[in-house]
Amino acid sequence: MVVTTSPGSSGTAPTMLPPADLLPDVLPTDRLSETGKPLPPLRAELRRIADARNVGSVALTWGQAAATIGAAIWLGHPLAWVAAFLLMGPVHARFAILAHEAAHKLLFTNKRANDFVGRWLLAYPAFVPLEAYRRAHFSHHRDELGPEEPDLNLYLGYPVTPASFRRKLLRDAVGISGWKNFRGLLRALRHTGSRPFALRILAAQLLVLVPLALIGRPELYLFLWFAPWMTSWRVLNRLRAIAEHGGMTRSKDRRLTTHHVRQSWIARFVFVPFNTGWHLAHHVDMGVPWRNLPRLHRELVDAGWVTEELTYPSYRALWRALRSRPETAAGASPA
């Protein structure tokens, strides 16, 4: 994939949208509908939720957090503390993506268990009010990049200039973006309607703080939980989000709303865990649990609907495209 150009006010303008010749009209098939959704009985097979395995995924997410913090304490070297700080960014990615799965009601078949675990063991520890997130996120799926898109400002304007791209990531890295999110939580405490959710989030922080306090290291909550959430996780979150929808457009064809990137084990460890990198498949059918997204993607490829030319070879290649807008003659660049 490369950045193409489209007509603009000054001749042509760079765009992230694939050209029409990369969007073959091959649907429906005997297995997929005209939008790419699997047809019965394939749909029932792909929408099956693996309850027991998801228990393990939640446990391993907490285990990774404990192992990262525990290794830093055990080694006690300054470089170990720095490494743990950075590695907690991927830990927060795991909490966020499993909370996203719970928001879709796909973590457990029992909906009460799904919401309890999703709230108290995943979303609230990650400072996310699951109920509000679910409402906003379903708006995202109903009409990607439409007028009610909750994250529209995050996706618009790409490709940007390299300078603009750096400024965005710098704001994330130094905590400016994180403070905007945390300030919203503090403001929620002032209002009777949102206060219960804010208090639950603060109460859930005890799941992290209390064990650290019991071993005599409560300060690590700030350095190895809160601070990474404010900084390194913000960088990873932006890089993932713009790789999903940056510069795309409102359309019923999900190939025009969502990028697809070839997955690597490094990317899956760092910022797209739990198959969230198969995001085009997720938007084709948001009722497919994370474990089955690669299978749905293979169906889309086998049908000829997703082609090799439509796929970015790596996240680095996509990010290069996302920051490919030339600087203006005056050296100015959008924020």
Cβ-contact 297, 312 below 8 angstroms? no
Is residue 136's pLDDT more than 70? yes
Which pLDDT tens digit goes with each residue over 254-295? Answer: 999 999 999 999 999 999 999 999 999 999 999 999 999 999
Which band of pLDDT confidence, cut at 50, 70 and 90, is reported for residue 13?
A: low
146 DSSP assignment: S
Predicted local distance difference test score (pLDDT) of residue 36: 97
Helix (H, G, I), strand (E, B) or coil at 89: helix
Phi-psi region of 262 (alpha: psi -120 to 50; beta: other; left: phi over 0): beta
Structure tokens at 60: 């391993």
Is residue 45's pLDDT more than 60? yes
Is residue 6's pLDDT more than 60? no
Predicted local distance difference test score (pLDDT) of residue 329: 41
Cβ-contact 98, 61 below 8 angstroms? yes
CB atoms near residue 2 (< 10 Å): 11
Which band of pLDDT confidence, cut at 50, 70 and 90, is reported for residue 330?
A: very low
DSSP-assigned beta bridge partners for residue 15: 4
DSSP-assigned beta bridge partners for residue 32: 38
By the 10 Å C-beta count (0-12 exposed, 13-18 middle, 19+ buried), 32 is classed as buried
CB atoms near residue 133 (< 10 Å): 18
32 DSSP assignment: B
Is residue 53's pLDDT more than 90? yes
Give the Cα separation of 209 and 24 in Å (integer). Answer: 53
Predicted local distance difference test score (pLDDT) of residue 42: 97
Give the Cα separation of 335 and 160 in Å (integer). Answer: 9
Which band of pLDDT confidence, cut at 50, 70 and 90, is reported for residue 8?
A: very low
Phi–psi pair at 263, nearest 5 degrees:
-90, 145
Sign of CA dihedral 189, 138, 176, 273: positive
Cβ-contact 32, 26 below 8 angstroms? no
Which pLDDT tens digit goes with each residue over 74-120? Answer: 999 999 999 999 999 999 999 999 999 999 999 999 999 999 999 99
pTM of the model: 0.93
Is residue 12's pLDDT more than 50? yes
Predicted local distance difference test score (pLDDT) of residue 140: 96
DSSP-assigned beta bridge partners for residue 8: 11
Helix ranges (DSSP H) in the chain: 42-46, 51-75, 78-103, 111-117, 130-142, 152-155, 162-173, 176-188, 195-204, 206-214, 220-221, 227-230, 232-245, 265-270, 279-284, 293-302, 315-322
Query: If you average pLDDT over every residue of the chain, what do you get?
Result: 94
b/e per residue, 315-326, with b = 16+ CB within 10 A? beebbbbbbbbe
